[in-house]
Structure 1
């Protein structure tokens, strides 16, 4: 628990770029749901609302007035999202303000989760863009009063956040953002992931140009690049990252099977080595899919929880609905399914092709499929 003492800046454990703070019972319940939908924020709330799972979910508790917590949050976070009344927030942050180039973005969300208000550092600090993105994520109405400063363009550090996209590195976020808002030539190359990422009703600015491949983008010599892919880039493409950011959509599905009791370490080692062999990014994995006989397999549960992946299981009947190339009578005799990892991957991905049909480890098997976003079909989750 965070110790709050007057005159002292408390020690906090920052892991994400944004802080989410709640001080009421309803606010806490909303906040716990928000971080599931918006995984870019560390959550802070009062100890009296403790649920018991805070340590495992990296939720930080404090006891006392939130006014004493804010100085530490101001120093360390890019933005602070407060589920606190607007008037109270204004009074508490007033002594902390320095200037618009240094102050973090501050947002306020009402206690019912109906409105998200941009309060501080709307343009330079990114509060306006974050307000739009966060409001859309939680299903609220954004309130941005600095309308003349709102540019209808891409907020680079939030690009694709509503779909769960993450960036590989934050090193170039600031210069790439500058290229976007300064209307310099920005190349966008998308190889996978959701296509409906443009969030405005107006056309994209002319300085943002779509290219069908990295080769085409390299020839165009842009000032900056947004590369949306689940693969590891080749050396010749690194020139695009001199002022570029790689975004990782959640596009990969791991179909898996294992012997009972296989350790999480062995399972993750197989995953890591297989992704590296295929030159795929671990950050683009969305789910582990398997047979329902493994729904309580501790190794799978631990790996999925550690990496914030979905863990989905299917019945043997559901798996047998998916055609596979090499049905196994042996597997059928043990499980009732003619295959586990191969059909599980295809069923979740709604795909008919594997990136990897099947690989056997010592005690586990793995298959990998890519979600075909061109079709924009939702995954077939087990019921």
Structure 2
């Protein structure tokens, strides 16, 4: 997640600096930038160029400034509002699909504030269909149906999930078993459902949830043991609450194609691995990747795990886990659009 923090007062700026310091050490935060004063200019930039905006200011200023830019819960960024004293963190816009509600809880915990969330499913302890899709990195084919299904869930009506019988959906069952929010559902199986989809039905209404491609990029020192690579892999997934069955591919650079630890990881987890050509890695550009002069001096490329994950995930993919080192193993995670 790329976050912009916009402050107005000197007190708000101090809070922004404190918050940025904490977020910079979080592997799930790809970038965190600060903007101060000139609210009209910076909120407009933040709204269109970042995944989330944290506005440390009065709610009136925030709402009046972003009002002309609001379009849809599908495309709008997460908007959070914090008072100058850092007492309350308010989820203001895109609570579910944008991730504002979960980010509100994270930020409130970091600064010891009270999280304020007002979405109906959350306050009634129900699992919204859009929350499920966001948490499991699934796209929704017909977002106009979200309101119908969430209303049905609030009313305690049973919705039906239909899955492909030959697909491993452990990530879904694990999520449902461990979630503390309530949802009434039945699970059916049909070979007519694509393996990367979950069909949701009630009456004549239907939503198709489709897996976005999750790619775990891996770099490592030569001869790194399988157990150490597995440990790094599992730690990174735990940070994102991603079940290993939800990972679609592994990736690395072609210089690692004979690395036994990576090949063993792919074989034992039954997850295919893509080794990206060096030429593609040399040509790849992204302002979000971390550049290593050491890797550049040895292999002629600036990095392995981040660019290989992004290339494998496809055009317009983005990082959801920046390069993180674990005892000679680096891991980054990318997701398709």
TM-score by length of 2: 0.47
Question: Which is higher, the Rg of structure 1 or of structure 2?
Answer: 1
Q: Which has the higher strand share?
A: 2
Point out which structure has higher relative CO (alpha carbons under 8 A, 6+ apart). Answer: 2
